[in-house]
Structure 1
């Protein structure tokens, strides 16, 4: 089997895994919440508790997932997380106890984190660098593929049956899709480490020692801090933009549900392609340059909502935001995979994912609080605009992930022999 075919199969399998753990494991609950509330006689305070536990579990294991990669096979960690998530989705079809529902949905947050974080290391070891950006872009779009399926099937199922049937149907889909993916992941032989070539190791370390000067570890920590700051800011505005765009359209702009539904559909559909487009650009030029452009486009999206208050501007904002959203989240792991050796990517990406989650929790709460205090989302989106500008400035100062003059593998890594994550 050729390397190209093997890489294609890996990408298809990993995309399916993201569909299971994120589109099904993380987002089905929010789509059927009203039916669950009325059926189990719980209130939205309890729903908030479930969502908080799920998010907390996801954040915690975003960090722990990177650490686990040092002790557990990446293949096993990804595969077991996907299968366990499929089982959890299926089991929810038979749950009628609110507290058991809370426990299982919380576990789904763990499975999402421990499937996604190790994928960065897996891709770094099994996908050639020239294809890595495109691959991670497609993989990160797995959520969009799943959300489209959710949008078609869930309303139909709820019209004809109960919310338990939703879990049952998607549980079967998850287990079948997961089993096929795990089979192929284990059937294919892993490629040799595609990032580090022994013949270049000596030159690589010499280059880094020159680049980092006498304070290599200090420079190393500096870039970690910059990346963490970038992800916190991303969480502060990217996630709240998505969370509050529909309420803003309906309550602030006075648009109807059909218009806001159209905007959401545009966002989801465009998101399918954004990851691939960003990945192609990252492979051709650099992930740093692609991030600058993607974050820059997000400024245009938010500005159109802040300065132009009509339906056309809102639709345009969702279209532009869809172009950047999945693309940005695919570029983060692409960048990490290029500046660190494979065995260290999961740890840094776990820390970055944790930072993103912390930012999103603060941003979502702040957006709701601003709406409550001012009666409008206007100030919240103005603050998002400021943060989007800051992310572009940060991207300008991060280390390039590709030497444009002499593209040697490992040339732009942030490590030396003494460095550790």
Structure 2
């Protein structure tokens, strides 16, 4: 039987969906993925090599991982509001540090601080959605919030185009947006709920026999997609695609990823396993298509749009998957799968940067796409797809 999709009401939008989407937009779309968008001009001015750029991206993954590991005890002891406020602060400070960087080391510091913000931002919204949004509205609300990355990338693209080589101005503008979104999200998050005050967590929350497939899936998808986020603009430039055109294509990815907001409809029609196989398979094929089409801007743009839509959808699907494994503590479930996703992104950019230096962009992106397709070997069980955390 197909599930019906109930859209969030006005109160749900004001309480969680709008501020949550804004926080994910600034911490992921601007703070984390804005790095790849502005990387060519930063490399040119600061003298950062391709290999060093990959190491910096991986270092940001480490800080993201630290944020993921810290957010579970933080929300358990202080509530979601404190975690959201911390995410906004880390994002703004990191962006400012990038804006004033004078070399590889100072650039790395800013990117690392901003990366921590993304690790802190997403998991608390699993608890906020579970506590403050009616059960029948949670799937669609979560899909919208987790697709906030698309709004950030869609905003970052035009900012980068207007800023041109003045990438420092772009990062300062990102910092202002992070503070504005953080203020809204902190106020709307509300005080800690009784459940948050009384919950106690420790290392055992990671040990769930049913979580193994989710962890493997997230690691593979994280490693494969990391190459695209870090080096897609560089790959286009290597094929003589103009700077503006390359950034437009990158921004198009963000716009297309907004389609992930409708992932709840796909889950309702196909079930969680069907939605996962469709979106993960589409993501791998999109990366392979991009590898083969970087010299053709229009076709590369289509592949980039497919990447954006399927990436947002598969991440939303994994979030719903995690909620079933950790129904009593949604933040822990999201933290687990995003930690695994980050484990993949730690290796992905560094290996991709070194592979590009030795083999070039096309073999690197083909390998990245194949890695994502390998994630099709695991999937959620049909028996765990009922309700998707909304029961």
Matching residue of 2:376: 392
1:77 aligns with 2:62: no
After superposition, give the CA deviation of every residue in 1:156-202 in whole Å (9 maximum; x if it has no partner): 3456xx54433433333322332233223328x96999xxxxxxxxx
1:98 and 1:306 mapped to 2: Cα distance?
Answer: 28
Change in CA separation of 1:143 and 1:302 when aligned onto 2, cut-off 3 Å: closer
State the SS of the aligned residue for 2:379.
Answer: helix
Matching residue of 1:226: 213
Contact 2:214 2:321 in 1 (8 A): no
1:316 and 1:289 mapped to 2: Cα distance?
Answer: 24
Offset of residue 279 of structure 1: 2.4
Change in CA separation of 1:180 and 1:360 when aligned onto 2, cut-off 3 Å: closer
Q: CA RMSD in A?
A: 3.7
Change in CA separation of 1:356 and 1:6 when aligned onto 2, cut-off 3 Å: same
Offset of residue 230 of structure 1: 0.9
Matching residue of 2:3: none
State which drifts further: 163-172 or 121-130.
163-172
Matching residue of 1:172: 176
Change in CA separation of 1:58 and 1:66 when aligned onto 2, cut-off 3 Å: same
Offset of residue 13 of structure 1: 0.6
Segments ≥4 residues shifted beyond 6 Å: 189-193, 306-310
1:5 aligns with 2:34: no
State the SS of the aligned residue for 2:378.
Answer: helix
After superposition, give the CA deviation of every residue in 1:268-318 in whole Å (9 maximum; x if it has no partner): 221122x11212322565333321221232344345457889736544422
**Residues paired across the two proteins, number:** 371
State which drifts further: 384-393 or 112-121.
384-393
Contact 1:292 1:396 in 2 (8 A): no
State which drifts further: 83-92 or 302-311.
302-311
Matching residue of 1:201: none
2:131 and 2:147 mapped to 1: Cα distance?
Answer: 21
1:293 and 1:320 mapped to 2: Cα distance?
Answer: 12
Contact 1:286 1:400 in 2 (8 A): no
State the SS of the aligned residue for 2:78.
Answer: coil
Matching residue of 2:154: 148
1:317 to 293, 296, 303: 303
Matching residue of 1:349: 334
User: TM-score, length-normalised on structure 2?
Assistant: 0.78
After superposition, give the CA deviation of every residue in 1:128-177 in whole Å (9 maximum; x if it has no partner): 33322222222122222122222223333456xx5443343333332233
Contact 2:323 2:333 in 1 (8 A): no
**Contiguous gaps of at least 5 residues in structure 2:** 1-7, 197-203
Matching residue of 2:92: 86
Matching residue of 1:199: none
1:238 to 225, 233, 236: 225
Matching residue of 1:335: 321
Offset of residue 402 of structure 1: 0.3
Matching residue of 1:402: 386
State which drifts further: 224-233 or 331-340.
331-340
State the SS of the aligned residue for 1:70.
Answer: helix
Question: Residues 279-318 of structure 1 correspond to what in structure 2 (within 5 A)?
Answer: 279-283=264-268, 286-302=271-287, 304=289, 311=296, 313-318=299-304
Change in CA separation of 1:238 and 1:178 when aligned onto 2, cut-off 3 Å: same
1:140 and 1:54 mapped to 2: Cα distance?
Answer: 20
1:13 and 1:267 mapped to 2: Cα distance?
Answer: 22
Contact 1:132 1:283 in 2 (8 A): no
Change in CA separation of 1:128 and 1:377 when aligned onto 2, cut-off 3 Å: same
Change in CA separation of 1:32 and 1:192 when aligned onto 2, cut-off 3 Å: same
Q: Name the larger-Rg structure.
A: 1
Question: Residues 192-207 of structure 1 correspond to what in structure 2 (within 5 A)?
Answer: none
Matching residue of 1:124: 130
State the SS of the aligned residue for 2:189.
Answer: helix
Offset of residue 25 of structure 1: 2.4
